[in-house]
Amino acid sequence: MENGIVYLVGAGPGDPKLITVRGLQCIEACDVVVYDRLASPRLLKHLKPGAERVYVGKLPDRHTMKQEEINQLLVDLALQGKIVTRLKGGDPTIFGRVGEEAGLLREHGIPFEIVPGITSAIAVPAYAGIPVTHRDLASSMSIITGHESPDKLDRSIHWDKVTLATGTLVFLMGVSKIGYISEQLIRHGKPASTPVALIRWGTRAEQQTLVGTLETIESQVLAANFQPPAVIVVGEVVRQREQLMWYERKPLFGTRILVTRARAQASRLAEQIEELGGEPVEYPVIEMRANTAASAAVQEAVQAADSFDWLIFTSSNGVDYFFRWLRELRVDIRRFHRARLAAVGPGTAKALLQYGLIADELPQTYQAEGLAAQLAELVEPGQRALLPRGDLARDVLPQELGRAGVDAVALPVYETVLAQTGEDDEVLRQLMDKEIDVITFTSSSTVTNLLERLRQQGVEAPAELLAGITAACIGPVTAATAREAGLEVALEPEEATVDALLSAIATYRHNQR
């Protein structure tokens, strides 16, 4: 068996979008990923099916695995012929001990590649509005470890030279030694009034920034119980924060949001959350697929295409799967030339537009009741209406059309099932540790399936686990389902759209802050 290869990859400071293109390629190609605490777990969704995950994260007070054991693990995995990605927070060459890992790989003749990452030394200050260099304030910087004990710091750091050597000093892993660091810098020539910033969990939803001076910062850290991990920035550039702070001004900054939609839709919603400064956690609990049991019914509807006066869509999924069936059956949409088009809301209308069709009717209230009320004034007894939809759709609309004398044919072109993914353990941990701020529900099935997934993981009372987490429901029907399940619904926008839902979350979080 030939040896595998090990990619020693820098994952960046926390925001998963800050990983390099090469780093992402290594994640997508590997057979096993060995990752630590500071690498975003969201990067793991890019793993290919069946890829193994090994967590070797380190906490300040305990290690899951010692460094020597990690080194040997990489060798053992590669000797099995596996492609291994060692995913490390920040950049692997900056206090990442990559030299030790690569050294042992070389001794065993195992090929490896070092893939640089964006170091927290520059990225974290940037997310706090602090440029580490500035034309007028600092033309150079030093990156220094602050993790060692005072006696080791004194042996590894020449305080008399470092203190005045560069304009900006960046200490990594030094929160617990902030008093000693400040004392040494003042003793060796830094003014006590020199600005200092500590940025905790930079680029993530938990990002916190504490600003003081060398003279005051230790007492501030103690008073705030400011905990690692954090980057320490010392220098005049810290004063730029007041003008350049940008990340913390975004509407959803500091908000971690659980997204329960189907995967394709979840990714789009996640991108919107990120643009607003939030941190999405994708946890698709529903999956849509073509309803093969409805094949005969679809063919029958297609054969009678010119008999329908209305084509009524109540979801974008209904639109997409209807056209999938038409493609599979080689049927031209023009067969439905008699039919007027109705959509339940702007999202559904947009889905139609992607197929070159414009909805004739769009209600002011974006739910089945609103569409039924509008159509009641337009339909005529004896007309026929086709409703391509999901298998869990409510019967409100066909029943109301039936009362108006319309032959309403409900056509379940897709079915909604419980999705299974590999993110269960991490999401459950985040829920139990109350790291999730908001859960979004965009349909009743996302409510029921989330609760079912939690039960499958051994949670006997899912509603109790979710207590205290803001539940945001897209509309009254979804909200009613959530309440019936024992959840406390805090947010329900006036308009049943994703944009309105995100706007309501942003306003709610702003008011909380």
Question: Has 173 been annotated as catalytic?
Answer: yes
Q: 31, 45, 58, 250: which is the annotated catalytic residue?
A: 58
User: Rounded to an integer, what distance in angstroms lies between the CA atom of residue 237 and that of residue 197?
Assistant: 10
DSSP code at position 48: P
DSSP code at position 90: B
Calculate ∠ Cα 105-111-114, nearest 5°: 80
Q: Which residue bears the tokens 């269960």?
A: 424
Which 3 state secondary structure label does DSSP give 344? coil
Q: 36, 91, 320, 437: which is the annotated catalytic residue?
A: 36
Q: 15, 82, 91, 173: which is the annotated catalytic residue?
A: 173
Q: Where are the alpha helices (DSSP H) in 128-231?
A: 150-156, 159-165, 178-187, 217-224
Q: Are 27 and 85 in contact (CB under 8 A)?
A: yes
Residues in the chain: 513
CB under 8 A, 24+ apart: contacts of 317-320: 317/262, 317/288, 317/390, 317/414, 318/348, 318/387, 318/388, 318/389, 318/390, 318/393, 318/413, 318/414, 319/348, 319/351, 319/352, 319/355, 319/388, 320/351
Q: Are 501 and 440 in contact (CB under 8 A)?
A: yes
Instruction: Tell which residue, 254, 205, 266, has the closest CA to residue 14.
Output: 205
Q: 319: Cβ–Cβ under 8 A, 6 or more apart, which residues?
A: 313, 348, 351, 352, 355, 388
Measured in degrees and rounded to the nearest 5, phi and psi for residue 226 equal -75, 120
Residues assigned a catalytic role: 36, 58, 173
